[in-house]
Amino acid sequence: MKTRSKVVVAASVLGALAIGVGIGVGVAEAAQPHMTNALSDLQAARSELSVAIPDKGGHRVAALSLVNQAITQVQAGIAVGAGM
């Protein structure tokens, strides 16, 4: 094989590897286990707050509102992280 042909083949292989690594990084960013776990925990907290005894001087209601806000923010973060 001529030297020029070897260079072209090597460049093609490197280009393909770069594309593969780029796709792999995109998948790694899309898989967000910590954000997904946080979302699940917040949803569980919302469920617990919803069934708690209501008379807490307004604190349960305030906590429920804050948890709902946190769920919205985590969902938005997941969407941004996934490139949406």
Q: In this predicted model, which residue has the larger pLDDT, 22 or 37?
A: 37
Q: 67: Cβ–Cβ under 8 A, 6 or more apart, which residues?
A: 42, 45, 46, 49
5: tokens are 């042909």
Q: pLDDT for 26-78, tens place per residue?
A: 444 568 999 999 999 999 999 999 999 998 999 999 999 999 999 999 999 99
Would you state the pLDDT for residue 69?
98
Would you state the pLDDT for residue 21?
45
Would you state the pLDDT for residue 30?
65
Would you state the pLDDT for residue 47?
98
35: tokens are 């954000």
Q: What is the pTM of this model?
A: 0.63
Domain residue limits, the chain? 1-31, 32-84
Interatomic CA distance for residues 38 and 32, integer angstroms? 10
